[in-house]
Structure 1
């Protein structure tokens, strides 16, 4: 999202949230017209045949780039104008479940639900009357929402409905959001309007704009140290006192939320920071209102599985050992497919997982196996659940680990075939998981390889010809 340009819509000075939202609401119809016009202009420029004459070709390329960027910017502004005012309470109060994820303990949407807040939005202003640790969330005895037979068959073993440690076991964020909303209603009686998820890495982008926060004891939490403190060093600092560590992290969360809520930083800079978090898939939003959810799913905020026949390789990691060792996990993902001949083609999805841990003196809470004691893991072993969510209509042929056959199981999720295995990665070692499949060549649309938002920035290689008719 070219968010700095959007500052001209929102105002480039200090953040006046209510005034910003009301200006945006007033401009809704104008932005919609501009978005339609800009898309038409970009399409017309795209349809112009390229010239062989260098200067003309260069001018056409530059014009095409500017028109496409303008169309994207105005399209984002149009969506924001239709979503933001109502979602921040201009037409009536809203309340949301805010999940702060911990990607050092991987879950499909990013990380373990470490802390949470209830966010109230009234007249464009946001407050957090409730902020708590995951231990304050009650696990219901029975499920409070039913996500369907595919979800149930795939995840029953994880107790996804009734154990908040696994509420976000599915790579589709709306699944986690619906569970959080239903469980909160069961716990408190409050019916929420949606759910939001964010992680410390996205918060670091925002702190880079708002400036550091100061804790009651004078310690400063900055854009540079918030990630290592919240995801790594706090576990060493409070190695013998888990309750004290959680209290410390909650103090950081509270101070950070207050800093963001009361900031006077430039709106344009804040939008740029938030846009960075969205493009990294570290910020996701769900609305209980179908018309809003449909718009959210047209953006990177939706974080849902695609409802399309496009070629898909969505590789997600889940921490099985119940530790924080994914701070040291590095990923390499590749997706390759044969040519578009015949009704199906062979494809391969490969993920190389490297455990970069070298210090085996770290607390067992970080590198032990408290969540899987029966696995008898050597200290420092990363015990990972690896899920492949694939192109609709694909058939899995086999799965290997380091070149040899490995046990895996299959299922489906929202019409997409799924294959799952579990691997153990010793400290300082790598494991390569390779999945071979047949995919229908009738698949159409852009190839999709969503990246799970963990601590690392994975290397991704895609060599997949586009098949089928564009639709």
Structure 2
């Protein structure tokens, strides 16, 4: 018995030392991960790599200590054993993720400090992207395995602090895994898109938001962009208005597109091709018309709107435009939106200047590819893509699939969820959308059958003057409108399977818009006035029951990209017997509703969650 007691004492001391040492190593691992994050935020890649390497080593050592045979009896105990086994598993997964992630940072750091000639201004460094791709993919796979493995661990039996670690890991690592997967997907297709395997040609199109279309604005100036092994060269910009309407319609990208938009000439001219809210469909139509005019086929379309001009000007400090001088960032939008139309009486000169602004923007954008502040340039491009100001279409299906997944493809992407979007097509033939302000209110109620019912109200305010600007800006171009008056075809789109229960004008024809349910309403808004439209929709499968008995309502609202942006209110009524939890950032709970107010453009995702009152601790 004395010997057994001595053995137990020795085992207890050894196990305690192992567990205590492992705990210290895990704390140090956490500290090193925080140091890695700080270094990444300050773009210190070498420092981030060193911190991550130490964190990886610490996680591996902790896993070995906690997995030691000395601790086998402790791992067999109830509760404590569950915590130990989970901690071993998490430490092992962190170690597995750390190795490829450290390699990724090593490659990135080497690229940043590489003195090789990247090719000069206007070159996308495709060789660097190719070097980053393998560690990116390996990191994404390792992190996804870790998320799946940790997520498969039962919550039952874990003590509070350990359960908190599990929750925090999944909250951080889940989105990070998705981001890494998307980055790896993009890295795999970008070299080919920019001519790493063979030269490519694209239509580079500038659109004006002063005359809105369902996907961006009027397709104005365009140029041919040639790329080879990352080197970009674009030709002279032309005005699409100089191209005559085709005598015969092109075939169109899909039956629904032909049915909805052939009536506005979308199959005969670019000026109507993007009435659709689905940019890939508009781009395919543009390419069909390009070839119908006798041009050689190209590999895709790259679109940038006038908000892109502003973003590039802000990043570079201004745009140098031949014949104009330097356009300061605060002047760019006004100049391309309305001012240029009044400065030049000669139409050809005006077109040339607007083309020159587009050329200056893309020239400056190419120069930014060589800028040392890579993070700022990446944030600019990501922001423009996120708000829908830059859209890209590739004829290569695999490449386009990636572009759609990361949001730069501009696909409408209808889904069976609570979704709405208010989209305007200018049919007045003027530029007064520059003066248009918009407010939308999307109010959602939950139905017992899992569906949702929504009321969507949009208010349009026209602040255009009635004089002081050329007719080309204010109009009228049609007899029934006065100067500054606007007329639009307003389209409501909602999710797959959605029913439109009410729309202005009684029962206008419903249609299919790239898989979404759609209805069109014609609306006149005289200068200096406001008009409102109200719709009611019903969507099956608008909310889902969570495993814990709670409810999740994934609300999505498409905010059309406009010059001033869109003011919005998203409201979800709290169902009886439930309480809101994990409110979206900026949202408030009051008067039985979860409410989010804001201003912006682009695809807005608002996940709203409710827990049962007893579970949520509400009253």
TM-score, normalised to structure 1, is 0.87
1:426 to 526, 529, 533: 526
User: Structure 1 residues 442 and 311 mapped into 2: Cα distance closer, same or farther (>3 Å)?
Assistant: closer
Q: Give the Cα separation in 2 of the matches to 1:6 and 1:192.
A: 40
Structure 2 gap segments, 5+ residues each: 1-39, 46-104, 545-552, 574-606, 609-619
Residue number in structure 2 paired with 1:170: 276
Residue 190 of structure 1 pairs with residue 296 of structure 2:
yes
1:31 to 126, 136, 139: 136
1:16 alignment counterpart: 118
Residue 223 (structure 2) aligns with: 117
1:258 is the counterpart of 2:358 = no
Return the alpha-carbon distance in structure 1 between the equivalents of residues 428 and 209 of structure 2.
14
**Is residue 388 from structure 1 mapped to residue 492 from structure 2 by the alignment?**
yes
Question: Considering only aligned residues, what root-mean-square deviation do their CA atoms show, in Å?
Answer: 3.2
For 2:335 and 2:150, how far apart are their aligned partners in 1? Answer: 49
1:286 to 393, 404, 410: 393
Between Structure 1 and Structure 2, the one with more helix by share is 2
Q: Distance in 1 between matches of 2:437 and 2:296?
A: 40
Alignment of 1:39-58 (within 5 A): 39-42=144-147
Maintained 8 Å contact 2:133/2:184? yes
Equivalent in 295, 312, 323 of residue 430 of structure 2:
323
Contact 2:543 2:554 in 1 (8 A): no
1:241 to 1:148, Cα distance in 2 relative to 1, 3 A: same
Q: Counterpart of 2:445?
A: 338
CA distance in 2, matches of 1:379, 1:145: 37
How far apart, CA to CA, are the structure 2 residues paired with 1:42 and 1:205?
36
User: Which structure has the bigger radius of gyration?
Assistant: 2
SS at structure 2 position matched to 1:269:
helix
Q: Secondary structure at the match of 1:286?
A: strand
> Separation in 2 of the partners of 1:115 and 1:385?
23
Q: Report the number of matched residues.
A: 458
Retained in 1: the 8 A contact 2:209–2:433? yes
Q: What whole-Å deviation, never above 9, does each CA across 1:52-83 have from its counterpart, x for those lacking one?
A: 97x99997787666535643542342122112
Aligned-residue offset at 1:455 = 0.7
Identify if the C-alpha distance between structure 1 residues 358 and 62 changes in structure 2 by more than 3 Å, giving closer, same or farther.
farther
SS in structure 2 opposite 1:189?
Answer: coil
Cα–Cα, structure 1 residues 69 and 440, in superposed 2: closer, same or farther, change >3 Å?
closer
User: Any gaps of 5 or more consecutive residues in structure 1?
Assistant: none
Secondary structure (helix, strand or coil) at the match of 1:227 reads helix
Deviation at 1:29, TM superposition (A): 2.3
Shift of 1:170: 0.2
Following TM superposition, by how much is the alpha carbon of 1:325 offset from its aligned partner in structure 2, in angstroms? 0.2
State the 1:426 CA deviation. Answer: 1.9
Question: CA–CA distance in 2 between the matches of 1:344 and 1:200?
Answer: 39
Distance 1:406 1:225, change over 3 A: farther
SS of the counterpart of 1:256? helix
Residues 442, 242 of structure 1: alpha-carbon distance in 2 compared, 3 angstrom cutoff: same
Task: Report the TM-score, using the length of structure 2 for normalisation.
Answer: 0.67
**Per-residue CA distance 1:300-338 (angstroms, 9 max, x = gap):** 111112153222212110111010000111111222222
Native 8 Å contact 1:210 1:265 kept in 2: no
Cα distance between partner residues in 2 of 1:334 and 1:166: 28
1:417 aligns with 2:513: no
